[in-house]
Structure formats: structure tokens, C-alpha cells
Amino acid sequence: MAVRLLATRDSGILTDEALDFLAELTRNHRPRLEELLRRREAVQARYDAGEKPRFLPETVHVRESNYKVAPLPKDLLDRRVEITGPVDRKMVINALNSGSSVFMADFEDSNAPTWHNQIDGQRNLRDAVRRTISFTDPKSGKSYKLKSKTAALMVRPRGWHLPEKHVLVDGKPVPGAIFDFALYFFHNARELLARGSGPYFYLPKMQSHLEARLWNAVFLDAQALLGIPRGTIKATVLIETLPAAFEMDEILYELREHSAGLNCGRWDMIFSYIKTLRKDPAWVMPDRGVITMEQPCMRSYSLLLIKTCHRRGVHAMGGMAAQIPIKNDPQANEAALVKVRADKQREVRDGHDGTWVAHPALVTVALEVFNAGMPAPNQIGKARDDVQVGEADLLTVPKGPRTEACLRHNCVVGVQYLEAWLGGLGCVPLYNLMEDAATAEICRTQVWQWLRHKARLDDGQVLTADAFGRMLDEEMGHLKGQLGAERWARGHFPEAIRLFREFSTSATLAPFLTLPAYERLHETPMAKLPLHARSRHAAPTAVTCSAVVTDNAVPEGHKGLHGFLYGEKGADVHDNAEQQYVLREGEDDGTTLVGVDSFVAEREGERLTGVYALYDARRSLQYVGYARSIVLAIKAHRGRVGEERCALVRAMVFANKSMASRGHLVEQARRWLDKAGTTPPGNGVERELWEGATMVAAMSAAEREEHEGRALKLRKAMGENLGDDVEGEEPSARERRLNLIRAVEGDDWSSVVDGQTTETVAPELVEAQLRAARNPIATPFAHASVHRSIGNSAEAPAPMTPEAVEKALDEVRPYLIADGGNVEVVGIDSGVVMLRLQGACGTCPSSAGTMKMGIERSLKAAFGGALKGVEQVDSVETSATAAAVDAHLDMLRPAITSYGATVQVLGVEGDECRVRFDGPPPIGMGVKAAIKDKFPDIRTVTLVAS
């Protein structure tokens, strides 16, 4: 199977040759990576059972040997100050011009891995290597370009654990680490060598020397494939996990042909201490602010790193100074610089060969310290034979207080970083520090650890989930006041708060927050639907519409229902070939933004059917929906989210409101969302909030009485035994009966009307449906519904985007879930929709029939000739955390809700997932199957009733 792209292709970066190179590396090394990731879980299970990290007895021969790493190239001999940062264009230029020795361009912790960020970053680095990079600030007009002398360039790809979901090789996502490395190496290795440098890397998040061995294999393979001399690649490994601290010698040995030393990843190390020893109550950490490099375990780790590197003839790099200039407070700024100088003086005295800074303004500060303390290019000759570090030294518990102030600060920093990351920013200035993902990891794991072990704070209170929830809510209220309503409304705060709460309170600690959060990463900023200026005072226009289904054409068994739907007079209202419907020109055609107050006031009491979009007072799109009564729907939304979020509306009212099929309404709403170019909060992260609004709650007393009367009337017309199973009932008859029940319970008759329209327009299709009903796989969707004109002219099929396909599949999903299965959209490539069947559907021997006979037909009806086919791809293993399970269920909730069911993840503990579920048992079984199929580690799904 060829490489498949699930996103826009950049012809300059994603060339055929580059993709072939990527595919070759992926096929050669992904199997071993998958083994190593499973090994991580097995090792962590031993730690959870009480085992502690240790120096490996099986590699003592490596530690006692006299090996040396290969000589370093000239431009990596002096690395006294290195600056790090994301790969956006302006940052790349400023960092290379900063005066530092090295710029580490980061695809990892200071980068949010949106498709745009990853590809744009590769393009920026390609241009930087060729010195053609430039940038003009669109606001200031200031231009940026490279100076004659620039820093050496190193690149940090993502860690082994992160996938690149937008590119599939043989039906599975490529590892993010290989994706980042392969594209940079392919496009730049030869160019760098021609310019007197080379392909240099930083390698993050490794947990054993076996993972370093895998990197070495990738390096050897890549160099051979491109004809680059062996050993050209050089890489510095960040020692930022506790297990890796016990294997520094072994890691250098595995990479000895390609090694450029080790680095103290101090912030991730704190996170790793908490994560690795999470079950040990003796290892409950103090406030993160007191876990400095002076703590015995941290100091032992840095000294051991220096001794190990210098013994092997290579650099020992110091850690990050995260401070940034405090421009409006000179006194506070100087106090911060004093801390930076003291930290750098400790590093150079101990023997580090260089250090890290996060901001160009700190380059000079760090240079002054290292120039004074290290006049030579490095101090690799400083052996530090005096350092003796044992296992106990690395496992000394840090001392210090545990305060409520730290807990609250963790909440504020963690949520703000997550909010920025979800919006595509991975490097965030917060409270005079430049924060990246490591900070958020410390914040959420420390809260989780304190809650799990019921930590006693220094004021005597024992931390509980309720207390944490209260503090989080209070801090978010304060934060909203500080940032302002506008910033809050256009951000991703509700989703970030929910994620932080889930990460902090889940039964099992998620290994990395970026894994489940990656599924919720927003690719583009908020956009607005197009608006067209029209007069709000144009005269009403008479609109002529075609005749629709009447009682004369309705099957005999449905005339009573048809009469009920269209009022006491039944078909008398519809028998004429033409009917006059009054629309407000410029207001009811979906082209003009109107104030909600005036819209509702002018149409009070009218039952308008159509599609609508709601905007806040700043004209930012909040929600796109459809309704049988737009006025009631808007009133219901206002009751849920407030008037400010529902200040403006544009609506397209269907001329023949009674016969507007649900399929047509959904199609129009889908097109509006496609034109928006992004997902509004009400259709995405806040979907439950917006769509939880019920029109019944917004009705007046008279409207509610009429509504209840209509429901009662239909129940009587249908008969009292409609809910009873009928022995020997044909599948089609049972489906019709259940459809009527859903119409009553949900007050939505559209699917019933669609069925009548189908029978009237194309009765030959009914027989086809009955024949297909004998095959349980194809029954629910053996053919697409056929709709006649309903007053608005037919339009071309909607653009076939992944979002549009997801919505089209909502018609199919309830049936799949009821049968214990589901379907997930993986992506689209050249008109071929790639899908992943899950649960019973994925394991069923007739899955190909499901795909072809059912799903493909439904998509063909929605997208016509744009669909070239459907293709099934393999399942992808995902870490089983409460947040990840909840993210997976987000895709299923619309279908689950359509059956009157609700689902909420309570937690994941070991191999059991507990879920609060209320609804029909078949749907519950489908939820179980969907979770277990997506998360192989979950063997038991327990449904708990409310």
C-alpha cells in the first residue's frame, strides 16, 4: 500500500522522493518502535508494583569499558550557549541571529504539532539552511533576514511516542519522530555538508539505551539510502526521564558513531520522577518551585551526566534558563537575571560545556558567565573523577513544602498552556517564563499525585477532589476576569479546563498529555461565515415552490400520520400544484446578519424551518444548526449560553417548511460549516453545551400545551402496543415501528417523512431495501434516501472533506453502534475515503460487505462523483486514559444521543474502564465494543447507571 496523505500536500516538502524515503524508514523501523513502546508499558508496570530504576547489571561491561565517541565536527566543538524555540519563520531567523553558538529548532515540546506547523517548519528550515529565509511582519512592516554569521543549526524531532496522524504508511500513521527527522534529513543533509556543516539533532524523551539503539539504526539506514557517509549525523540526547538517568553510559555507547553528547532536560526530569514513581507514597513531591538543581537527586543527576560525557570524550550540556525579560519592572527583571547568572555559574563550575536559554535577551547574560568560566571551546577534559553517584543518590526524595498556592498556580499555568497548545502554539510566555509542554506535564502530574496520595498541604488540609475542583473553578474565574471576555470567548478555555481536570483526576495517570490532546488540536484559527450586505427593510417576496408529496400519493398505511403532521386538514393544505409562501427578502435567504432580538420579535409564533448560524456580539461564529422551529431553537440556545454568545443570526428559511427533510437540513448546515473553514465552538468543543438546549424548555405555556397535545395525538394514532416486539416481524417493519417511536420521543418526524417520500418517489427502491434487509450488515443503509424538491433549488454535492464525511456517516453510525461496532474517518486521498471499522464491524468477516454495500452507498449519495471509493485501514493502538477514551467517545456522542442515550467516562484503572451510561442496552453494548476495540489494553468496560 502506498503512502497516503490525510492533509494538504506541500509539493516542495512532500515530494514523491521524500515520501518514498519516509516510507522506507517507516517500514524498516516502525515494528521495532512498536515493540519498544510496549516495553515501556511493561517496565512502568514493574515500577508501579514497587520496583525502582537501577543501573542495569546486564550492561555493566559497557560502563566498565573504555570506549570513546567519534570525533565531533568543527562547528559543534564550541556550544557554550544554545537557544531553543519553535520552528516558525520569524523565530528561526531571530534565533540564528541571536549570537548563540547553536539554535535548536524544535518540533517537540515548544511546538504544537498541527499539520501547518510541521510542514511550515520544514519549509522554514529548508530556507534557513540555504540562507534564503526572510520574513516581513504584516503588522509593523519590519523585515527580517539572516546575518552573515549565524548559529549552528540542530533540530529536535518529536519523541518516539507521538504519531503523525496525517500520513499513513501501509494503513498506519508514521511515527512523528521519523516524519520530522526524515523530511529534514532528506531535504538538507547534502546542502548542509556543502556549506561546511552537517545534519545535527537533539533526541528527546528516551527511556532506555534500546531506544537509542533504534535511533542509531535509523541514522545508519538514512545515510545509506541517500549515500551520505556513515557517521555524518550527530545527535545530542536529552536525559530527561528517570530510567534514562540510569543508562547514560549505555545511551552514549549505542550512539557512539553519531553522538554529540547529553543534555540535562531538567523540567521533563521532574515530570518523569513523578510519572515513574507515581504509585509510591514516599515520592509525593513538594512544590515544583522548590525542585531546583540544588535538590540532591537533581544535583546528582547533573554531576553524573558531566562525568559520564567527559569520560567518553563528548559534551555535557546544561539545562534551560526559562526566564524572559520583564520590560515594565526593572527591579523584577534584575532579580530574574541574578537567578539566571547563579544557575549558569553553577553549571560552568561543575563542568558543563554549554547551557540553554529560551530568549535572545539571555544569550549575552549566559555568554558572559561561560566566557569567564570556560575560556576554551569546551571543558571535556574536566574528568570529574571525584563524582561518585549511586542509585540511592538518584532516588533521594526532594524536600520542601506543599502549598495551596502551588496547587492553584499549577491550575492556572497548566490550563493556559493547554489552551494555547490546542490553538497551535507550543511555546507560551506565562508569568515571566517561557513555558513549553514540560511545564504543563509537571502541573497536571503534580496535581494528580497530590490527589492520589491525599497529600497534606502545609496549612494542614488534606487535598481532595472536591477541594481541587473548587480551587480550579475559582482560579478560572479569576483568570477569565484578568484576560477579559473577548479573549476568553475566542480561545479554547472550556476544552483546556476539561482536559486539565480529566488529566488531574483520572484513575490512571496518562503517560503524556500530548497524546490525547493531539486528537483535539485545532488546525486553524476561528473563521467567520461570509456576510453580504442587504437591506433589512426590503418588501416581503412571494415565492413559488413545486408541489410535494400529498395524501393522494402517500401509501394507505401512512395517511393518518401524514394528516397529523400537516394539521387537521391534512392533504387539503398541500394538494395544490403551487403554494404561496412569504419570505423576508434579504433576511430569510441566509445571506444577511440580523440582530437576534429583532429576528425573534418579528417572527414570534412562526414555526420557521431551516438552517441558521449564531454569532456573538463581536461577530465571531459560535454555532451552525438546523431546526423545525428556528425561533424556539435560538431561544433555547440563549437560555443555555447567554445572550452575548447569541447576539446575531443569519438564517435560511425553507419555503415549504413542512416537507423539509432532515437530510436536506443536515446537508445545508454541513455546507455552511464547510464554508466557515473551521469548527465553531458550539459544533466542536462546546457541542454538548449548545446542543443540550431543548426547544421544549423555551416554549411558552401555550406552545408547550400544543406540543404535548400533538405528541399525545400521535401516540394514540400509532396504538398503545407500538413499543412491543412482534413475533416474526420483518426487519423493515420493525425499523419503521422503531422509527415512529423515535419520532414521538424526540419530536422529530423528519426520518418518518423521508421514508414516506422515498416510498412515493421510488417504490422500486423499497423492494431493494427489503431484499437488503435479509443481510443484517446492510439493512440500515442499503440505499440512500431520495428527496424531492422542497422549495429550495437543488445544489451540487457538498465538498468531500473529512468533517463532511463524518457528518454524512452520522446517518449510519447509530445502526453500527447498536450492532456493537462503529466507523472512524481516517482521511481522504484522491477521492478515496479511508475508514477504520471498529468493534464488531472491524472484526466481522463481512466487514468488506459493510464497507461496500452500506457505507459506500451512503457516502455516494452524499458526495456523488467526488467519491472514488472507500478503503479500510488497520486499527491504531492508543494509550488508554480517561481523557483518550472520552475524546474517542466525542465522535460517537451524536449517534448515541440520537438513541436517547448518554455516556460519560468515569475513569480508567488498570484494564478496566468505568462508564456512566443511560440508554438502550444495544447501544450500551456498542459503546463497550467501541472502547475495547480502540483501546486494546482495556479488557473490561463497566457500565454504571446514573
Q: Per residue in 440-493, pLDDT tens? A: 999 999 999 999 999 999 999 999 999 999 999 999 999 999 999 989 988 999
Contacts of 642 (CB under 8 A, 6+ apart): none
Apex CA 118: angle with CA 115 and CA 121, to 5°?
Answer: 140
Question: Cβ(909)–Cβ(939) under 8 Å?
Answer: no
Confidence at residue 593, expressed as pLDDT on a 0 to 100 scale: 82
> Which of 302, 284, 297 shows the shortest CA–CA distance to 402?
284
Contacts of 648 (CB under 8 A, 6+ apart): 593, 594, 595, 596, 614, 615, 616, 617, 619
Question: Cβ(259)–Cβ(249) under 8 Å?
Answer: no
Letter for the amino acid at 310?
Answer: H
> 173: part of which helix (H) or strand (E)?
strand 172-175
User: For the segment 66-118, what is each residue's pLDDT rounded down to a tens digit?
Assistant: 999 999 999 999 999 999 999 999 999 999 999 999 999 999 999 999 999 99
Active-site annotation holder among 123, 156, 444, 650: 156
Task: Report CA dihedral (401, 406, 408, 414) to the nearest 10 degrees.
Answer: -140
**In the annotation, is 48 catalytic?**
no
How far, in Å, CA of 28 to CA of 366, rounded?
A: 42
Active-site annotation holder among 88, 109, 268, 436: 436
Taking the mean position of all CA atoms in its chain, how far away is CA 86? Answer: 19
Confidence at residue 697, expressed as pLDDT on a 0 to 100 scale: 56
Contacts of 475 (CB under 8 A, 6+ apart): 408, 411, 412, 415
Contacts of 940 (CB under 8 A, 6+ apart): 911, 912, 913
> Which of 617, 686, 694, 690 shows the shortest CA–CA distance to 649?
617
**In the annotation, is 350 catalytic?**
no
Contacts of 409 (CB under 8 A, 6+ apart): none
Taking the mean position of all CA atoms in its chain, how far away is CA 172? Answer: 18
Taking the mean position of all CA atoms in its chain, how far away is CA 119? Answer: 17
Contacts of 860 (CB under 8 A, 6+ apart): 784, 867
Q: What does DSSP assign to residue 855?
A: I
- Spans of the chain below 70 pLDDT: 1, 522-583, 585-586, 655-664, 692-730, 732-734, 736-737, 739-798, 811-821, 838-854, 857, 873-878, 898-899, 922
Q: Is the C-alpha dihedral spanning 248, 249, 250, 255 positive or negative?
A: positive
Q: What does DSSP assign to residue 798?
A: P
pTM above 0.95, yes or no: no
Task: Report CA dihedral (249, 251, 252, 254) to the nearest 10 degrees.
Answer: 120
Half-sphere exposure in the Cβ direction for 501 (13 Å, CA): 20
Place of cell 557517509: 229
* Pairing outcome for strands 354-357 and 316-321: parallel
Apex CA 188: angle with CA 182 and CA 191, to 5°?
Answer: 155
List Cα–Cα distances, 150 to 93, 324, 365, 802, 863, in angstroms. 9, 22, 18, 42, 52
Contacts of 281 (CB under 8 A, 6+ apart): 453
Confidence at residue 261, expressed as pLDDT on a 0 to 100 scale: 98
How far, in Å, CA of 305 to CA of 303, rounded?
A: 5
How far, in Å, CA of 98 to CA of 439, rounded?
A: 24
Question: Cβ(598)–Cβ(642) under 8 Å?
Answer: no
**Residues constituting the chain:** 946
How far, in Å, CA of 326 to CA of 335, rounded?
A: 10
CB atoms within 10 A of CB 657: 18
